Structure 1
Amino acid sequence: MNSTAASTDGRRAKGELRRRALIEATVRVIARDGAAGVTHRTVAKEAGLPTTATTYYFDGIDALLTAALTSCMEEDSARIEQLAEAPGDDVDRIRALSVQMADLLTAPGHLLAEFEMCLLAVRRPEQRTATRRWKNALAAFARRLTDDPVRVKLFTHAYDGLLLQGLLAGEAPTAEEFEELLRELLRPE
């Protein structure tokens, strides 16, 4: 590889690291201050980068919010897809998902940011595409346990509701409580 190609690859890698840092900083700002707290300045400061970095990598705040939502949904989808494909039976899958749900509520900042970004997507249709893979991953997980399309739909709608109610509760539900609810929702054979 010649030195020009190596320096181009190095700049590209550095640029991707900076972009990733800005997305992660956006999620932290939303978790702490809400979406209204997302400005070029607050995100750059949170990421430890100059303010100009946000405008270099993102066309505006909406683009930054869309990238953050997409990133969160991609990570969450990958986790659900791994659980669906993990070895074990239906009981093991439900138990693993229940533990994951309870764990999300032990440090809820990331989850809180996701819900806030999803609510923004209600008013910003261009941000809704980020949630499609998430919904598909939940449906695929449910189809591993039931072939009843109503139960699959019920699960995909109820999952986020269970987590939202967990955020609102004074004391977050335990993995065992989530497991009981998921078994009722999915009723594996």
Structure 2
Amino acid sequence: MSDGPKRQARGLERRASILQATLRIVGRDGITAVTHRSVADEAGVPFASVGYYFASKEDLLREALEAFVDEEVARLQAVADALQGAGELTASQLVDGFDAVLSGVESRAQFEIYLEAAREPELQQVADRCFRAYEDIARAALLAAGASEEDVETAAPAVVALTDGLAVRHLAAPGTLDRNALRQAFLLILRAVNPAVAA
């Protein structure tokens, strides 16, 4: 009996562990710290394995971003689906949800990779998928709060921009973000699209 399927499964596991190790390094030490050697050490795999699966640092970073985005898109789609079936949400529930998303940001990897996409055109389409997934969940949340379809198209990118900007501050200057000011910022957007929701 051939052990081909087992070998293939081990190969897929090793490849995935290399990508996860890459994201951990990016989040902890930045993109410049990513080398085949540092990734092999982080993943606990032989040095040659990284080169076997990824010929260059660019390939490694591109596929790590794609893996991150695939996971985020799946996670955010599940949240958006749940919101669409939740009925009408109160302002407090919405703000709590945005606050929880922001508080859950613990890694710089996402933002490091966005900046790398600014320098590498081939990464830009992948980064755009991630932004659009975040906008989808913002859209679903705003619709659940009673906003109109027309207002949501304008407000969803603003919600994502606000969340990303505050997340960068949360990472760059921990403890300096006033949580009440954060809530008020989200409420301003909610009032703009549906004054009744914040009442």
TM-score (norm 1): 0.83
Paired with 1:157 and 1:117, the residues of 2 have a C-alpha distance of: 16
**2:162 corresponds to 1:139:** no
**3-state SS of the aligned residue for 1:14?**
helix
- Contact (CA 8 Å) 2:169, 2:177: kept in 1 or not? no
Paired with 1:42 and 1:160, the residues of 2 have a C-alpha distance of: 28
User: How many residue pairs end up in the alignment?
Assistant: 180
Aligned equivalent of 2:175, options 163, 167, 171: 171
Paired with 1:178 and 1:135, the residues of 2 have a C-alpha distance of: 21
Aligned to 2:197: none
1:135–1:31: structure 2 CA closer, same or farther, 3 Å change rule? closer
- Contact (CA 8 Å) 2:76, 2:133: kept in 1 or not? yes
Question: Structure 1: any 5+ residue segments left out of the alignment?
Answer: none
CA drift of 1:177 comes to 5.2
Aligned to 1:76: 72
TM-score (norm 2): 0.79
Question: Structure 2: any 5+ residue segments left out of the alignment?
Answer: 195-199
CA deviation map 1:128-182 (0-9, x unaligned):
1222221221222222214212212322333211211221234064766544433
Residue identity matched to 1:167: L
- Contact (CA 8 Å) 2:26, 2:112: kept in 1 or not? yes
Aligned to 1:95: 96
**RMSD after superposition:** 2.2
**3-state SS of the aligned residue for 1:90?**
coil
Aligned equivalent of 1:155, options 155, 159, 184: 159
Residue identity matched to 1:16: L
Aligned to 1:126: 122
Percent identical residues: 30
- Contact (CA 8 Å) 1:26, 1:38: kept in 2 or not? yes
1:90–1:125: structure 2 CA closer, same or farther, 3 Å change rule? farther
CA deviation map 1:19-71 (0-9, x unaligned):
11101111111222211111101100110001111111112100111111122
Paired with 2:132 and 2:13, the residues of 1 have a C-alpha distance of: 28
